Amino acid sequence: MSDLVAVVFNDETTAFDMRAELAKMQKEYLIDMEDAVVVTKDDKGKVKLHQATNLTMAGAVGGSFWGMLIGLLFLNPLIGMAVGAGAGALSGKLSDIGISNQMMKELAESFMPGNSALFVLVRKVTGDKVIDRLQAFVGKGKVFKTSLDKDKEDTLRAALEQA
């Protein structure tokens, strides 16, 4: 089962930096993330989601492949590839995997303009090593929401929020 962790920052860039650090740790097998999304709220109050994976592009690539394959069967691979890319891009744009986009947008409405947040869906984590690697972010953010048990949430808050 995955756990949700959301950390809010007082600027628009720190969430991107933390996501990049978590991505490095994922390559080192210290954390296994199902999804990591940065949410920003600009000075005008507009909320924007910055997905780690571009689902539209992934859908277009997958659709192109399958469209070309089907097109080969009907002796017109270029048209099949074009139709497949379009269908794949549309399905990628409409799909929502991982953390609910609607939930993130609703929570982001409560943020102050100019803030950002990092929403992470974590499958598995080596807690002590990840906390040690996040020392650069101590005091920069506040744990906003988690689905962790109380002890783990308190440990995370103590590690990230201490001034």
Structural domain boundaries in the chain: 3-53+101-161, 55-94
**pLDDT beyond 90 at 88:** no
Structure confidence at residue 100 (pLDDT): 78
Contact 17, 2 (CB under 8 A): no
- Prediction pTM value: 0.71
d(CA 2, CA 97): 13
**pLDDT beyond 50 at 124:** yes
Encoding tokens for residue 37? 């999304």
Structure confidence at residue 89 (pLDDT): 53
- According to DSSP H, which parts of the chain are helical? 14-27, 55-73, 77-94, 101-108, 127-133, 150-161
Q: Label residue 59 by pLDDT band (50, 70, 90).
A: low
Question: How many Cα atoms are found within 13 Å in the side-chain-facing hemisphere of 105?
Answer: 8
Q: Is 11 exposed, middle or buried (0-12, 13-18, 19+ CB in 10 A)?
A: middle
What φ, ψ does residue 122 adopt, rounded to 5°?
Answer: -105, 125
**pLDDT beyond 70 at 116:** yes
Q: Label residue 83 by pLDDT band (50, 70, 90).
A: low
Mean pLDDT over 142-150 rounds to 89
Q: Label residue 106 by pLDDT band (50, 70, 90).
A: confident
Q: 129 or 89: whose pLDDT is higher?
A: 129
Lowest-pLDDT range of 32-36, 79-83, 92-96, 124-128 = 92-96
**pLDDT beyond 50 at 54:** no
Is residue 99 helix, strand or coil? coil
Q: Label residue 15 by pLDDT band (50, 70, 90).
A: very high
Q: Which CATH code fits 3-53+101-161?
A: 3.30.70
Q: Is 84 exposed, middle or buried (0-12, 13-18, 19+ CB in 10 A)?
A: buried
Encoding tokens for residue 17? 């930096």
Question: Can you tell me which residue has the tokens 């492949």?
Answer: 65
